[in-house]
Amino acid sequence: ALLDHTRYKMGALADQLLDGDVAVHPYRLGTFSPCSWCSYRSVCRYEIGVSQTRDLPKYKRSDVFERLKASSPKSTT
């Protein structure tokens, strides 16, 4: 399920890039945001405390895999 989801997301992101969509959509999980240490901030122009982030909910590991299985394009449920 994880590999299927990753392949799907990679294809979708590649399509977006080819269509010219290079918008930045950083995330935050609780108080953690990878933007705090990312060396590409100057390229994406993200500003901590100014730009908005997508707040991700925290899931149990088992819940993540169940959600991936349910949303998989190969899912039969």
- State both tokens at 2: 């994880």
Band of residue 7 on the pLDDT scale cut at 50, 70, 90: very high
Identify the residue with better confidence: 76 or 34: 34
Boundaries of every domain in the chain: 2-71
pLDDT value at residue 77: 45
pLDDT tens for each residue of 12-49 = 999 999 999 988 888 889 888 888 888 887 888 777 77
**Residues 69/2, Cβ–Cβ less than 8 Å:** no
- State both tokens at 74: 């190969």
Which residues are paired to 20 by β-bridges? none
**CA atoms of 72 and 32, how far apart (whole Å):** 27
Q: What is the pTM of this model?
A: 0.61
